[in-house]
Structure 1
Amino acid sequence: MNVEIKFPEYDAQSRTFVTWRPVEVMVKLVGPAAGVAAVDVRVTAKSLAGGGRLLFSTVLTHQGTSSIDLTLPANGAEVPVWVGGEFPAASTRYGDVSIEVRDKAFGNLLGTQALMVRTRKDANSLTAAERDRFLAALATLNGAGSGRYNNFRDMHVGGAPDTEAHGGPGFLPWHRVYLLDFERELQAIDPEVTLPYWRFDRAAPNVFNRAFMGVPNQANNVQFAASNPLVGWVAFGLPGIDRGRGVGPQTVPSLLSEPQTLSLGGMPNPTFGNFASMQGNPHGRAHMTHSVGWITNPTTAPRDPIFFLLHCNVDRLWAKWQWAAKIHDPVDPDSFVAGPFLPGHNLPDALWPWCGPLAFPRPTTAPGGGLASTPMTKAPGNSPIIRDMIDYLGTVSATHHAFAYDDVPFQN
């Protein structure tokens, strides 16, 4: 007799991943002894040292428990249980946490499933192994200047495309899907990788060193350790990265702190329209704290990989404001801003370039095509609209985007 544990989604290697947002898992009995009508089991999690932890429930909730008792019918009928990560205990690698199902009578192990509580983390706090996996995937995506990274570089450029990404309320949703597309491409290379964030209102000595994002020399050429995969970085035909020396390992940029940024949203009467002013400060100022280099110009900024860590923190700040304000439902008028605005900045607007080529006045080219898929969820689809990007955790909807931040819980 054993127990089958069936997650809703697996990758090609039969691995599965969760975030803080629980998913519905089916558990059923296989091969029970003759004459047995049902078996009482206990579902728990086994975590390795420093690994992720899990919570269980019979409904979708953030208030799960560390174990749950089920009765499994002998006829093999599936019994649902909701499984999610226990905030804030995220995984550092696949398989550092697993589900165990044991019979209550004797404690025999009947079924197990390894998994990973996969979240986006503070880049300054990554383990060496997490950092190195990320760098290896990033270098592979770059492909010494000939890889898929070029599409992401070309999505974030001047001219007509820039009006889709900046200068209006679509700034935050556009960059959310941009990061999600980028992260999914990294995970196609290494499923254990997530996009880390650079918390730019704090010193980050573990980010700005030769082993990670590099250190600019006097000529603003970024220097890496010989073992760093980014040594071979090519962003626009030529090797290397042009970045100013304005941000050092002990430097805290003079921009809005996290509490100050969150307060832009207008607590205790929060509105997205007020919070969206963070496009200028801290977002814009975070770019400019480097003084000179690619990162200071929207047209060239994505040539420097630190761009994606910077914008991951911008998105995290939006996610944290959404959680603090309890605003996740796109139907809520405070979740976005009523238009009309330029194309790409209205709640029902499709997001360029994932929506494909469109007619004037929108850009007519779409480098990269549709949003990258993931085996962990069908949301937000191949051609997302702004409305799709608001409830990323599935707090009020039945779908989720399969990403979360290490310091922003799921709370329904």
Structure 2
Amino acid sequence: MVSFSIQVLVALLGAGAALAMPVEEKRQDAACTGPLVRKAWHTLTDTEKKSYIDAELCLMKKPSASGLRGTRTRFDEFQVAHALKTEIAHFVGQFLPFHRLFIFAHEQALRKECGYTGAQPYWEEGRDAGAFSKSILLDPVLGFGGNGVGPNKCIQDGPFANYTNSLGPGYLVQDHCIDRDINDLFSTTAAAATVERCLNTTTYLDFWPCIENGPHGAGHGGIGAQMLNPVSSPGDPIFFLHHAWLDWLWAKWQAKDPKARLTDMGGNNKGVLGGVFGGPSSPGFGAPGGPGGPGFPGGGAPPPNIPGGFTPVNLTRPNDVPEPLVIGDPGNTTTLSHLLYLYGMTENRTIAEVMDTKGVLCYVYDS
């Protein structure tokens, strides 16, 4: 692991070399044999579920080695890497590629550092749309524990009930529990009709905002609290299954027309966190007239001061958090040459390299 300042320097110095190879050639420069097969959580055996949970607990026990702000454990490192990229990883074209690489990095850490032999599972949220509170994902033994209780909304059961998170909400560095505030109404944007509407789009510029404004909102708003915060949401381990589901949807959409869609990219490079309050400058969470934000079906601004979620304080980047850098794209249009960097969580990749899951990432989905 490397510190933030060194990693950014490496990213800057390496950007030219990474982009020297033609984009299409670089996307296909690695053979993928025997890809990992990602499966839906509800299809896993009890043994497979326990194996995944044990590996996540392993990351929660391993000490941080990166020097990243506020981290104590390897699990924390993924949370802060997400926080540091928030402003250029949401409401932008790289939203789906960034999270694809982010989930891959987490999957690789589980496998390489914690003896996990499976692949990253995903939560097929459409099965639970409108009824997250009854999902098997919240099982106290072979799941992620249930809802939060009390004024701090701390989860009380399950394997992660005793984890002390040092990050969040937002950019804050402070100890707190893993908190949840489940809302079944907010989970309705995972419904089949919403998903199908997105899958029936024909261009990335239509598909990406549809996903970010709709199904993306189901997992974040339906679980609530920390998951509802766009900066620190990976503090709840459910985050990784939620975004694996979104990645599965993107892969399904790409598979409908791979010749065109494995190179179809666009959008703006710089997002605005104000977009979560319905700002006009981005297609962000809760944009007026949109299909719904993270738990706010129908669009419009979310109510203020949600526990762990949206508050002016925890969505304001503090002075000790440097502004993330856009590398590889000279303007404000996301291209395949855009460099994805995760502060040492995994190897830096261009968007071109992660467009096909059967390339350098080498995984597929079970359906």
Secondary structure of 1:299 counterpart: coil
Secondary structure of 2:214's partner? helix
Structure number with higher helix proportion? 2
Amino acid aligned to 2:41: A
Measure how far apart 1:254 and its partner are: 1.2
* SS of corresponding position for 1:132: helix
Q: Which amino acid aligns with 1:156?
A: H
- Paired residues of 2:337 and 2:351 also in contact (CA < 8 A): yes
- 1:260-300 Cα offsets, whole Å, 9 max, x none, are 42432545xx211111011111102431123x411111122
Write the mapping of 1:42-191 to structure 2, written as runs, cut at 5 A. Answer: 118-143=36-61, 146-157=72-83, 161-188=85-112, 189-191=114-116
Residue in 1 aligned with 2:147?
216
TM-score (norm 1): 0.55
Q: CA deviation at 1:341?
A: 3.7
Contact 2:187–2:221 under 8 Å retained in 1: no
**Is the 2:165–2:175 Cα contact (8 Å) retained in structure 1?**
yes
CA root-mean-square deviation: 2.7
Indicate conservation of the 8 Å contact 1:328/1:391, yes or no: no
For the Cα contact (< 8 Å) 1:198–1:309, is it kept in 2? yes
- 1:197 matched to which residue of 2? 122
Count of equivalent residues: 250
Q: CA deviation at 1:327?
A: 4.4
Instruction: Point out where structure 2 has 5 or more consecutive residues left out of the alignment.
Output: 1-31, 64-71, 129-133, 167-173, 271-325, 328-333
Name the % identity.
24
Which residue matches 1:261? 195
Instruction: Please report how far the alpha carbon of residue 384 of structure 1 lies from its aligned counterpart in structure 2 after TM superposition.
Output: 0.3
- 1:392–1:400 contact (8 Å) kept in structure 2: yes
Residues 128 and 340 (structure 1), Cα distance of their counterparts in 2 relative to 1, 3 Å cut: closer
For the residues of structure 1 that align with 2:62 and 2:52, how far apart are their CA atoms?
16
Does the C-alpha gap of structure 1 residues 143 and 164 become closer, same or farther in structure 2, counting only changes over 3 Å? Answer: same
Instruction: Report the equivalent of 2:241.
Output: 309
The answer to whether the 8 A contact 1:202-1:252 is kept is no
Q: CA 1:209–1:386 in structure 2 vs 1: closer, same or farther (change >3 Å)?
A: same
Give the secondary-structure state (helix, strand or coil) at the position aligned to 2:78. helix
Aligned mates of 2:177, 2:106 — CA distance in 1: 21
Structure with larger RCO (C-alpha < 8 A, sep 6+): 2
CA displacement at 1:224 relative to structure 2: 2.2
1:243 alignment counterpart: 180
TM-score when normalising by structure 2: 0.62
Specify whether residues 370 and 215 from structure 1 end up closer, same or farther in structure 2 by C-alpha distance, changes over 3 A only. closer
Q: CA deviation at 1:209?
A: 1.5
Cα distance, 1:400–1:255 mapped onto 2, change above 3 Å: same
Please tell me the residue identity of whatever aligns with 2:351: I
SS of 1:307's equivalent? helix
Deviations, residues 367-406 of structure 1 (Å, cap 9, x unaligned): xx151xxxxxxxxxx220111110121xxxxx44222111
Q: Give the deviation of 1:256 after TM superposition.
A: 4.4
Which residue of structure 1 lines up, in the alignment, with residue 217 of structure 2? 284
Q: Say if 2:340 is the partner of 1:351.
A: yes
* Equivalent residue for 1:294, pick from 226, 234, 237: 226
| C-alpha distance after superposition, 1:133-174 (max 9, x if no partner) | 00100001011773211210101216xx22221111100000
Q: Report the structure, 1 or 2, having the larger strand content.
A: 1
What's the CA shift string for 1:16-39, capped at 9, x where partnerless? xxxxxxxxxxxxxxxxxxxxxxxx
Contact 2:341–2:349, Cα closer than 8 Å, also in 1 = no
Deviation at 1:217, TM superposition (A): 4.3
Counterpart Cα distance in 1 of 2:215 and 2:93: 16
Larger radius of gyration: 1
* 1:336 counterpart SS class: coil
2:68 — aligned with what? none
Which whole-Å CA distance do the structure 1 matches of 2:259 and 2:207 have between them? 12
Structure 1 letter corresponding to 2:247: D
For 2:125, give the aligned amino acid. Answer: F
Q: Distance in 1 between matches of 2:135 and 2:354?
A: 32
